[in-house]
Amino acid sequence: MKYLYYKQYQFHKWVGTDSQPEIPSFIFLSIIQAFYLNELLFLINCFVIPIELGILENIGLFTATVFINHFYLYRKRDKIFSHYIRESKSRSIIGFMFLFLFIACSLALMPFLIHFYGFWK
């Protein structure tokens, strides 16, 4: 996750829409992680035991994700950025491809998540 956070930071810095690109990078990565946690619950529901979350539980899950990422990524951002700043050009390109693949998979799984919570019934 540290590397994805760094790549998100680089992308937001490259786009230049914000003077502090670490904040939208942190929030966007938290949203994607919350989607993945909901997909994990979807798979558990399909194959193991039935679990259904309401809107309040999803808000709590997202809040917990943001809280954990705040201490794990955002507070240590300078250390993370200084660690990955020396990466080679080829590794940087592979990192961006991995980042966009990560985002594309999240967006591709979103309809299953929406269907799981019954918005399309």
Give the number of other Cβ atoms within 10 Å of residue 115's Cβ: 12
Give the mean pLDDT of the chain: 77
Task: Give the domain ranges of the chain.
Answer: 2-116
Compute and round to an integer the Cα radius of gyration of the chain.
Answer: 16
Give the number of other Cβ atoms within 10 Å of residue 18's Cβ: 12
Q: Is the pLDDT of residue 54 over 50?
A: yes
Which amino acid is located at 45 in the chain?
N
Q: Give percent above pLDDT 70 in the chain.
A: 84
The per-residue pLDDT for range 71-102, each reduced to its tens digit, is: 887 888 888 778 888 888 888 888 888 878 88
- Tell me the two tokens of residue 92: 């940087």
CA–CA distance, 116 with 41 (Å, rounded to integer): 10
Indicate the pLDDT class of residue 118, thresholds 50, 70 and 90: low
Nearest to 4 by CA among 64, 80, 79: 80
Q: What is the pLDDT of residue 113?
A: 66
9-31: average pLDDT: 78
- Model pTM? 0.69
